[in-house]
Amino acid sequence: MRPLSAPTIRLCSLLSLPSLILAAASFDCSDIVKDRIRFNLKPLGGPHVVHWIETEELITHNHTYTIDICQPLKRTKGVPADEECPNGARVCGIDYVTGKNDNTSRIEHVVPIAGDFIHSTAGWDPKWQLLKNSGSHADADREGLLIEFNGGKFPFNDKKGVPQKAMIEMVCDKDRSGLEGDEEDDRPKEDGDEKEKRDDEGEEKGEEGEKKNKSLTFVSYKQEGDPAVGVLRLEWKTKYACEDAVNNPDLNPKDGWGFFTWFLIILFLCISAYLIFGSWLNYNRYGARGWDLLPHGDTIRDIPYLVKDWGRRVVSTIQGPGSRGGYSAV
C-alpha cells in the first residue's frame, strides 16, 4: 500500500474541517437546550483548575486538571509543547511529581482528556443531559446538567492509547455563582490576552476556606468500562445550572446593556447624524462657514443664555417676591 501524498493529506484535512467546525458549533455554552430547558453557562467560561493530591512515601503527585467549558484552552507562553496538552484541548490533566527529600518538582504525565484535537480521529463529541435523567439513583433528585466531553487519549500519540473523557456534573445551587474558591489558570498566554478579573462573592482565603467554599471540585479519575476509558469526574455547584435560571432575573446573568443605555446611544447617534447632515447641507447649498454650518446655529449659540435665564427664573420662583410685596424703595 502506497503512502498518501502531501496534496492528498492536505485534501483530507480540508474535508475534515466542516465536521470539526460542526462539532465545535454544536456546543454553545451560552445556549444549552435539553428537554426544552435552556441553560446559560457563559459566566463560568475561562480556564479553571482543580487538584487531586496523592501522597506516597517519598513523592507527592499533584494531578492538576484545567477545564474550560466555553472555548479551547490557550497555550502558555514559554512552556514547551510536550509540557502542555495539544491545541484544541478543553480538559487537560498534568501530573506534577514532587520529591520529599529534595523538594524538586517535575512533570511526569500530560493527559489530554477532552477536546477538539486536529490530529485525532476521535471527535470531542459533546453531550449533555439533565441530571435527573442520567439514570443514576444518586442524581434522581438533583437538579442540574450532566456534560460529557470526549476526544482525548493517553498516551496521545500512541495508536493504542487509552481513550479519555470528562464528565462534569453541573449541580443547581442558587446560593453559588460557581466561582467561589475559584482557581484560575492565570499564566500569561501566547495570544497576549489579559486574565479576566472576577469579583467572587463569599470567597474565603486560606486553604481550609478554599476547600470549604470551592464550587468546582474533583470527584474521581479512573479507568471505567470495557474497553477501558479514562474518566475524569468533576462536580460544579452553581446557580446557572438551575432549570429556571434563564427565566429568573435573580439567577439569569445580565448580558448586554439595558433599555436606558440603548436609548441614550440611539439618541446620541440621531443627534450626531442630524448635525452632520445639516452641516453638510448648509456647506454645499449656502457655502456656510463656522457656526453658520450648524443647523439652527443661532438657537445653539443662545442655549447658554437660555439656560442662564431659566435658572434665574427658577431661583426667583423658589425665593418668592420678598418682604416688600414687589415694591422697591424710591
| Average pLDDT in the chain | 79
- Is the pLDDT assigned to residue 67 strictly greater than 90? yes
The CATH number, out of the four listed (3.40.50.620, 2.60.40.420, 2.40.160.10, 2.70.130.10), of the domain defined by the range 11-241: 2.70.130.10
Find cell 471527535 and name the residue.
Answer: 123
Work out the percent of the chain whose per-residue pLDDT is above 90: 37
DSSP string, 136-184: -GGGTT--EEEEEEEEEEESTT-TTPEEEEEEEEEEE-TT--S-TT--B
- Is the pLDDT assigned to residue 183 strictly greater than 60? yes
pLDDT at site 231: 96
Task: Confirm if 72 and 113 have CB atoms less than 8 A apart.
Answer: no
pLDDT at site 257: 62
Find cell 470567597 and name the residue.
Answer: 203
- Is the pLDDT assigned to residue 77 strictly greater than 70? yes
User: What whole-number distance in Å separates Cα of residue 72 and Cα of residue 114?
Assistant: 10
Average pLDDT over residues 217-243: 94
Q: Which helix (H) or strand (E) holds 299?
A: helix 297-319
Find cell 466542516 and name the residue.
Answer: 18
Nearest Cα to Cα of residue 221 among 289, 281, 272, 164: 164
Average pLDDT over residues 219-232: 93
305 confidence band (pLDDT: 50, 70, 90): confident
Task: Confirm if 108 and 97 have CB atoms less than 8 A apart.
Answer: yes
pLDDT in tens, 115-164: 988 766 667 889 999 998 877 767 778 899 999 999 999 998 888 899 99
